[in-house]
Amino acid sequence: MYAGSSRFSTHAPDRLTRHSFSFGPHHDPANLGFGPMICHNDDRVEPGGGYPDHPHTDLEIVTWVLEGVLLHTDDRGNTTALRPGDVQVMSAGSGVRHAEMADAASGPTRFLQTWIRPDEPGTPPGWRAEHVEPGPGLTTVVGGDCLAIGTHGASLHIARLTPGATVRLPAAVRQHVFLALGAGRLHDEAVGGGDAVRLTDQPGMAFEATADTELLAWSFTS
């Protein structure tokens, strides 16, 4: 388990970012990724702050908003205001520039962002966003029949749980389980808000919430 307190942190005047993997100046050759996942960032941004215009290539970038309003713009003409329950997928492909800024009028913003390596480099860029309402079970929001990304077998599942509720994790070769909020037990191990668990060849494990919890589980078939 990777405890929330042990994650690398980047501090800036307008934001705090906690990194689950080696990122920027926080280089750790033993923690470069997990399967195709190479970035899992937890951002807390002050009103009006964030990430001005910058480029990406050959990444599948998935954003999930937990609090506040995140304003997205890109050089493909896409613009939106992402709110809690909104999931965004941006396929950077051959190259895209975008900005992500917290709405100055909506208070602090918290969002999770994951970068996944695509199967094929240099594909045309793309962008999609949807609003979803996860239920007490795992709701698939990316992959499968939902928002597609250019990485075969990669899916994001989200559950909102009350104390005592139990969900069974996907049957996948690799799973990255992150508690954005709350607390619970995964196979008799206590897990709290900000903690992550990486599972390999352990499909279908059960998680029981001991508090109001928001759980995100990435699953990979290879």
User: pLDDT per residue over 101-159, tens digit each?
Assistant: 999 999 999 999 999 999 999 999 999 999 998 888 899 999 988 999 999 999 999 99
Report d(CA 210, CA 191) in Å as an integer. 10
Range of the domain at 212: 4-220
CATH of the domain at 81: 2.60.120.10
Specify the pTM. Answer: 0.94
From the number of C-beta atoms within 10 Å of its C-beta (0-12, 13-18, 19+), residue 188 rates as exposed
User: pLDDT per residue over 31-43, tens digit each?
Assistant: 899 999 999 999 9
User: pLDDT per residue over 184-206, tens digit each?
Assistant: 999 889 999 999 999 999 988 99
Report d(CA 169, CA 10) in Å as an integer. 31
**Mode of pairing for the β-strands spanning 15-19 and 37-45:** antiparallel
State the total domains in the chain.
Answer: 1
Report d(CA 196, CA 215) in Å as an integer. 10
Q: What is the per-residue pLDDT for 188?
A: 84
